[in-house]
A and B are shown apart, each in its own frame.
Chain A
Amino acid sequence: METTAEKNIILQVDRLKQYFPVKKDSIFKPKAYVKAVDDISFELFEGETLSIVGESGCGKSTTGRAILRLDEPTDGKVLYMGKNILTLNKKDMRKLRGDLQVIFQDPFASLNPRQMVKQILNEAMAIQNVVEKSRRKERMLELLGYVGLPPEALDRYPHEFSGGQRQRIGIARALAVNPKLIICDEAVSALDVSIQAQILNLLKKLQKQFKLTFLFISHDLSVVRHISDRVMVMYLGKVVEIAEKKEMFDSPLHPYTKALLSSIPVPDPTLKRDRVILKGDVPSPIDPPGGCRFHTRCPFAVEKCKQEEPPLRELVNNHFVSCHIAETLPV
Chain B
Amino acid sequence: MKESNRPILEVKGLKTHFTTKRGVSKAVDGIDFTLHKGETLGIVGESGCGKSMTSLSILRLIPSPPGKIAGGSVLFKGRDLVTMPEDEMRKIRGNEISMIFQEPMTSLNPVIPVGEQIAEALRLHQKMGKKAAWDKSVDMLKMVGIPSPDKRAKQEPFQLSGGMRQRVMIAMALACTPEVLIADEPTTALDVTIQAQILELIKELQTKIGMGVIMITHDLGVVAETCDKVAVMYAGNIVEHASTEQIFADPKHPYTQGLLNSLPKIHEDQEELITIDGSVPSPYNMPGGCRFASRCPYAEDICAAHQPDLVSYSEDIKVRCWKYTDKWTGKRDKEGVV
Residue of A nearest to B221 (CB): A265
Interface residues of A in 56-86 (CB under 8 A from B): 56
Question: Is the C-beta of A201 less than 8 angstroms from some C-beta in chain B?
Answer: yes
In the complex, the answer to whether A265 meets B224 with C-beta atoms within 8 Å is yes
- Residues in A with CB closer than 8 Å to B223 are 267
Q: A50 to B260, alpha carbons, bound, how many Å? A: 26
Q: Report the minimal beta-carbon distance from B105 to chain A, rounded to whole angstroms.
A: 13
The residue from B161, B221, B269 contacting A264, defined by CB atoms under 8 A apart: B221
- CB of B274 within 8 Å of the partner chain: yes
How many residues on B have C-beta within 8 angstroms of the other chain's C-beta atoms?
Answer: 47
Chain A interface category by residue count: 35 or more
Cβ contact within 8 Å between A249 and B191: no
Interface pair B249/A162, CB less than 8 Å apart: no
**Number of interchain pairs (Cβ within 8 Å):** 122
Contact assessment for A221 and B192 in the assembled complex, using a CB-CB cutoff below 8 Å: yes
Cβ of A201 and Cβ of B192 under 8 Å apart? no
Q: Roughly how many angstroms separate A228 CA and B274 CA in the complex, as a whole number? A: 18
Of the 9-residue stretches A22-30, A88-96, A111-119, A192-200, which lies at the interface with chain B? A192-200
Stretch of B14-22, B29-37, B193-201 contacting A (4+ beta carbons < 8 Å): B193-201
Which of A10-18, A34-42, A137-145, A273-281 forms contacts with chain B?
Answer: A273-281
- Is B301 in the interface zone, CB < 8 Å from A? no
Name the B residues within 8 Å of A264 (CB-CB): 192, 221, 266
CA of A201 to CA of B265 in the docked complex: distance in angstroms? 14
One digit per residue, 1 when the CB lies within 8 angstroms of any chain B CB and 0 when it does not, for chain A 259-293 equals 11011111111110001011011100000000000
Chain B contacts with A in 247-295, Cβ cutoff 8 A: 248-249, 258-267, 269-276, 279
Query: Smallest distance from the beta carbon of A66 to chain B beta carbons, Å?
Result: 22
B47 interface contact, C-beta 8 A = yes
A55 to B192, Cβ gap below 8 A? yes
**A221 to B266, Cβ gap below 8 A?**
yes
Asked if B273 and A219 make an inter-chain contact with CB atoms under 8 angstroms apart, the answer reads: no
CB distance from A223 to the nearest CB of B (A): 5
Per the bound structure, the CA–CA distance linking A56 and B192 in Å amounts to 10
Given contacts A194-B275, A200-B273, contact A269 B245 (CB under 8 A): yes
Q: Does A204 contact B (CB under 8 A)?
A: yes
Known contacts A55-B192, A263-B195; A269/B273 CB under 8 A: no
Bound complex: CA A318 to CA B243 (Å): 44
**How far is it, in angstroms, between the C-alpha of A266 and the C-alpha of B218 when the chains are bound?**
13
- Pairwise interchain contact A260-B219, C-beta atoms closer than 8 A: no
**A324 on the B face (CB < 8 A):** no
Could you say which residues of chain B place their CB within 8 Å of the CB of A201? 272-273, 275
Please, how many angstroms separate the alpha-carbon atoms of A219 and B193 in the complex? 11
Q: A164-B279, A192-B47 are in contact. Are A275 and B196 (CB under 8 A)?
A: yes
Decide yes or no whether A306 CB sits under 8 A from chain B. Answer: no
Partner of B279, one of A162, A226, A277: A162
* A222 at interface, CB cutoff 8 A: yes
Decide if B225 is an interface residue (CB 8 Å cutoff): yes
Q: Which chain A positions have C-beta within 8 A of B191?
A: 55-56, 219, 282
Can you spell out 29 A-B residue pairs with CB atoms less than 8 angstroms apart? A56-B191, A192-B46, A192-B218, A193-B46, A193-B259, A193-B263, A195-B279, A197-B263, A197-B273, A197-B274, A197-B275, A201-B275, A221-B266, A222-B221, A222-B264, A222-B266, A225-B266, A226-B265, A227-B264, A259-B193, A265-B225, A267-B221, A267-B248, A267-B260, A268-B224, A269-B224, A269-B248, A270-B248, A281-B164
7 smallest CB-CB distances across A and B, nearest first, come from A265-B221, A226-B264, A197-B262, A55-B191, A192-B46, A197-B273, A263-B196
A-side interface residues toward B, CB under 8 Å? 55-56, 162-165, 192-198, 200-201, 204, 219, 221-223, 225-227, 246, 249, 259-260, 262-271, 275, 277-278, 280-282
